[in-house]
Amino acid sequence: MEQDTLQIRNLKTQFFTSKGVIPAVDDVSITIPKGKIVGLVGESGCGKSMTAMSVMQLLRKPGKIMGGEILFQGKNLLQCGPKELRHIRGNRISMIFQEPMTSLNPVYPVGRQVREAIMLHQGLDKKQAKEKVLHIFRQVGIPEPERRYDAYPHQLSGGLRQRIMIGMAMVCEPELLIADEPTTALDVTIEAQILQLMRKLRDEHGTSILLITHNMGVVAEVCDYVYVMYAGKVMEQSETYELFRNTSHPYTIGLLRSIPQLDDKKERLYSIDGMVPNLLHLPKGCTFCNRCGHAAGRCKKERPDSYRINDLHSTRCFLYEKGGQPDEDKCK
């Protein structure tokens, strides 16, 4: 049996503030098989990016990983020293960050920044590295790549900066690519081009991809598996087709109902009632209970485990405690 590229097991990441401890990532487990694209979805503030930053070990104080394992091809990254992590990051594991302006050095041309990454990890000389940079710039749809090579970040649009970051992450052909909202600033044409490039990276090089997004349409198009996060926890996980065919958790159902439909004649879009809870003051029971139309007494007192619906699908909801079809009496 082929080894999974990444296994996150019971990961706990907390932020220690003057007001209390914030459980940003609370007992999260995610598996990314080799050569598969795994989607991580949910509202802003649910812990998606903190999960990615924990994997890369780029957390800043007061954030700290308090438990769990992060196994990259069987090796626990939490036990690696700084030197070993520097060799893995950017070479074997790459990340596309959500905001490129905070990731690019403002005082160096963008082409030089990508070139240095290639020279560091692949041992090419300046000329060879520059040719590879120009090639990847063309692949990610950057017009006039020779001119953009010498441009500074502030001279480029947000969309171009994002494509530079995508090129930098892909140029070393990593074994694992973590993409945090990689197409948010791009128009639909470039979005399609970038998603196709990710599929090509997966198909031709066997790259595994963790795709963090709030766009369920993107998930349906490119992902093999999906994890739905809410308030620091994974609420539902499934193979993609199974998730859309047999959506189980009330939160996931709400996310799907919020997608605009071309034939929808209603004047107002559907929205999930309420707000994401303050992580300093989470409900005693299910973290989604204050926004859930099925919530009853038990949901407000106890936190549900993750219950298996079938071999491809599990959900964190008392309705599915026995698996299979929902048992609404379980919430009473």
Tell me the two tokens of residue 58. 């780029």
Residues 23 and 129 in one domain: no
- pLDDT-derived band at 14, boundaries 50, 70, 90: very high
Residue 332: the pLDDT is 46
pLDDT exceeds 60 at position 328: no
Helix (H) or strand (E) segment spanning residue 134: helix 126-139
Could you tell me how far CA 305 lies from the centroid of its own chain?
22
In whole angstroms, what is the distance from residue 317 CA to residue 156 CA?
Answer: 46
- Considering 171, 193, 224, which residue would you say is the last residue of a domain? 171
Instruction: Give the total number of structural domains in the chain.
Output: 2
| DSSP conformational letter for 183 | T
249 and 303 share a domain? yes
Please tell me the predicted confidence (pLDDT) of residue 185: 66
Confidence (pTM) = 0.90
DSSP 295: -
193 against 26, higher pLDDT: 26
The helix/strand/coil state of 309 is strand
Give the whole-number percent of the chain exceeding pLDDT 90: 55
Whole-number CA gyration radius for the chain: 21
| Residue 323, pLDDT score | 66
Q: Is residue 117 domain-shared with residue 263, that is, in the same domain?
A: no
* 230 and 283 together in one domain: yes
Least confident of 59-73, 181-195, 202-216: 181-195
- Higher-confidence residue of 325 and 108: namely 108
CA–CA dist 270, 8 (Å, integer): 33
Confidence of residue 51 (pLDDT cuts 50, 70, 90): very high
Q: Are residues 47 and 179 in the same domain?
A: yes
Select from 15, 13, 23 the least CA-distant residue to 61. Answer: 15
Tens-place pLDDT, residues 295-323: 888 898 999 999 999 888 999 999 898 76
Query: Residue 190 falls within a domain, yes or no?
Result: yes
pLDDT, position 326: 66
In whole numbers, what is the pLDDT of the chain averaged over residues? 88
Distance CA 310, CA 239 (A): 11
101 lies in some domain:
no
Residue-number span of the structural domain to which 288 is assigned:
6-92+174-331
**Burial readout 116-152 (b: 16 or more C-beta within 10 A, e: otherwise):** bbbbebeeeeeeebbebbbebbebbbbeebeebbebe
